[in-house]
Amino acid sequence: MALLLLFLVVAVAAACGGDDSGDGNDPDDGFANPGFEEDLTRPCVSDTLDCWFALNPPEFIVSDRTANSGVNSALLAMRQTTASREAEIHYLVQEVAPNELPEVISGNYFVENWVKGTDLQYLQFVVIVFGGGDDLAPCPGGGACSNYQIRYLLAGIDREPFGIANAKFVFITDLAPVEGEWIHFERNLRQDFIDLWGGLPSDFTKIRVLFEVRYDGKTPTEGPLEADVFYDDLYMGPPR
């Protein structure tokens, strides 16, 4: 009987062990709370390195409506019915300070209610490295940039939405978002910096990562728009 009980305890412990499902159990993941399963009631501000926040209102919502794994995901609910707003960004942001640039960044998104009311309505995630430009290509006009960006277009547009000197654009797809299913994305961040910026940043102060749904350049004559975009199981770290 004692041996049977010991076997059952070991089996339960193995079943409850960590995994890579984005629920916070992956020790290699550079993001805190990557699956949005932990308590998010405590305040979080932009200079905190271990939580999710929005740069500007509106805030994201922790939702149990759908999830790639676990129970929760982060919902960005975009609604625009007035003609006066030219641009709007819904943010999910976290800042990290690793010793070196992580190799892989990945995640999953789910889109509902995609009503395209303007041409430049899209999903993207953005990686911004602050400082660390000694080994990178100079900014236009010479010298180092204050930060170096790669903007990954996930879906919605087929051209760069605007020009920005310290940013490079990468198209994951140039198609309209697929609705009603979880879509996985993954990039080799180090290789992208080598290909686009000529090297790897070193001695940087922090990395800001933004997952967004947004629109730009909306004119007063264009109609209303909306989108519900969920992000879940976000990861930044070594290949797995």
Sorted by where each starts, the structural domains of the chain and their CATH numbers stand as: 7-237 (2.60.120.260)
Question: What is the rounded CA–CA span in Å between residue 171 and residue 73?
Answer: 24
pLDDT for 43? 60
User: What residues are paired with 115 via a beta bridge?
Assistant: 226
**For 32-51, what is the HEC assignment?**
CCCCCCCCCCCCCCCCCCCC
Q: Is the pLDDT of residue 4 over 90?
A: no
At residue 83 the predicted structure's pLDDT band, cuts being 50, 70 and 90, is low
Alpha carbons 192 and 199: distance in angstroms, whole number: 9
State the average pLDDT over residues 4-31: 50
The model's pTM: 0.87
- Give mean pLDDT, residues 84-104: 93
Contact between 211 and 107 under an 8 Å Cβ cutoff? The reply is yes
